[in-house]
Amino acid sequence: MKFINSRLALFLAIVFAGMNMAFAQEIIPEIKKDSVKPAPKFTGRTKIDGVVAVVGDFVVLDSDIDLMYRELQAQNVPIKEITRCELLGKLMEDKLYAHHAIQDSIIVSDADVNEKMNRQIDYFVEQIGSEDKMVAYFKKKSLENFKTELFEMIKNQELTERMQKKIIDAVEITPEEVKQFYNSFKPEDRPVFGAELEVAQIVIKPQVTQAEKQKVIDKLKQIKKEIQDGASFYSKAVLYSEDRASGQSGGFLKMDRKTQFVKEFKEAAFSLPEGEISEPVETEFGFHLIYIEKIRGQQLDVRHILMSPKPSPEDIQKAKEKAINIREKIVSGQITFADAAKSESDEKETRNNGGLLINPKTFTNRFELTKLPSEIYNDIVDLKDDQVSQPIKSVGQRNDVIFKIMKVTDRFDEHPADYAKDYTKIKDLAIKEKQIKEIAKWSGKKIKDTYVKVNGEYRTCKFANQWVK
């Protein structure tokens, strides 16, 4: 492969795309010393910020490498074994993708970049302590100066991701290629898949009274009137919206007819004219005020405020008693766990599948034991085969109180890859290898066709790609 260091490149791509750091550290172990190429010894070099490389229409500054180091440190990534040469190689790869993304008319909107930037800043502030400390940590003159640089970095990252996606979208794999990939391993060298579990759950949610619903409706109507009298929808969303994903950006969303929003929300949004605010709209998430900021053909710029009615202590106790009753029927044999899930569970995503949880990484029902999410592991770690847990009070995805009844429905021991039993996993590995080769082929060709210059002592870096021509 023609990456600086394939594991480092993937790790950095995950980090700078803003993905979950725990996931990044899970799939990429700490970089081993023997996998890192030495940095040039820039002895006697005066530290002056300047252009260290040019790729197409983009330049890379020495300070860009410093910024990457600090960003990695802020995200608790071990940097001891990461050299300036490797980070320069990663930056140059990103510039190559970004340059050709622009050439291919790939567009990244400022709204999308701002949304990611705000999330990134929130994360830094949480890790470092305050905006002032963040600015000082990254050695910037002001918050605005920091935002300007971060905006450009994230925009280029978005261009990079979309260009990479365009390259690999056309990559397909045949069953014969999967078989060839599998047969390329000696029996003793085949991938080993860890012990796995299938886990099912029944979720019982407290039922909210109509009186509590009316309180939320009245509050949203009051907010609507205040906005119509001149208050800012943005500010009200920041203050009141319970949608954590959009609340801090003033409730902003983009949507079109294909966007996967709940039916009631989508129907209400597309029925409103530009500039109008809806009456409270009820969905499974709660009640929404919906404001149509801009209509762009079939695409809408929407802001919304979400508020959810809260159950009373009595409502919560009734839900707990219902969960206890359901468990007793399962344990006594009056009903199977799967049938109870189908008839009683309030979690629509799993109830029609007998309560079986879906692994969001593989889209199967199996979870590797060592990679179980902590919230699942803690609930089932002590369960024996066929044992049904007591009702577990928990917090749902919408920050609401729920009760869960858990069961381990099947177990699979650690084993070497088996073509028949593990075809889907083997196919995933095979297509990823093919995608990496396609990206390497693309980058090798584009480097030859693109203006590239590496300056000064960085020319002595041992790049895997042919950056120094």
Identify the band that residue 46 occupies on the pLDDT scale cut at 50, 70 and 90: very low
Written as one string, the DSSP assignment of 5-26 is SHHHHHHHHHHHTT--HHHHHH
Q: Which of 29-43, 153-167, 240-254, 393-407 has the lowest mean pLDDT?
A: 29-43
Strands of the sheet with 452-454, listed across from one edge = 58-61, 51-55, 452-454
The 10s digit of each residue's pLDDT in 329-348 is 999 999 999 999 999 999 98
pLDDT at res. 398: 65
Cα–Cα distances (Å) from 418 to 137, 191, 234, 367, 426, in that order, read 50, 9, 54, 17, 9
Neighbour tally for 349: CB within 10 Å: 11
Specify the pTM.
0.58
Using CA atoms, how far apart are residues 229 and 236, in angstroms rounded to an integer? 13
Give the residues across from 61 on adjacent strands: 51
The 10s digit of each residue's pLDDT in 430-468 is 999 999 999 999 999 999 999 999 998 899 999 888 899
For the chain, give the percent of residues with pLDDT over 90. Answer: 58
The 10s digit of each residue's pLDDT in 286-322 is 999 999 999 988 899 999 999 999 999 999 999 999 9
pLDDT at 10 over 80: no
Written as one string, the DSSP assignment of 330-361 is HHTTSS-HHHHHHHH-S-HHHHTTTTB---TT
Q: Which CATH architecture has domain 193-207+313-416?
A: Roll (3.10)
Between 373 and 460, the more confident residue is 460
Which amino acid is present at 97?
Answer: Y
Using CA atoms, how far apart are residues 384 and 411, in angstroms rounded to an integer? 11
Q: Rounded mean pLDDT of 217-234?
A: 95
H-run or E-run covering 415: strand 415-416
Same fold, 6-173+429-460 and 193-207+313-416: no
Identify the band that residue 15 occupies on the pLDDT scale cut at 50, 70 and 90: very low
Q: Which CATH class is domain 210-307?
A: alpha beta
Nearest to 294 by CA among 327, 265, 246, 253: 253
Q: Rounded mean pLDDT of 234-250?
A: 88
pLDDT at res. 283: 92
The 10s digit of each residue's pLDDT in 61-74 is 998 898 888 888 87
pLDDT at res. 13: 44
Question: What's the burial of 176, exposed, middle or buried (CB within 10 Å: 0-12/13-18/19+)?
Answer: exposed
Q: Which residues contact 65 (CB under 8 A, 6 or more apart)?
A: 52, 84, 87, 88, 91
Indicate the SS3 state at residue 312. coil
Does residue 419 contact residue 179 with C-beta atoms inside 8 Å?
Answer: yes
Using CA atoms, how far apart are residues 66 and 61, in angstroms rounded to an integer? 9
Annotation: CATH topology of 6-173+429-460: Triger factor/SurA peptide-binding fold (1.10.4030)
| Domain segments of the chain as ranges | 6-173+429-460, 193-207+313-416, 210-307
Report the chain's mean pLDDT, rounded to a whole number: 85
pLDDT at 404 over 90: yes
Using CA atoms, how far apart are residues 356 and 364, in angstroms rounded to an integer? 10
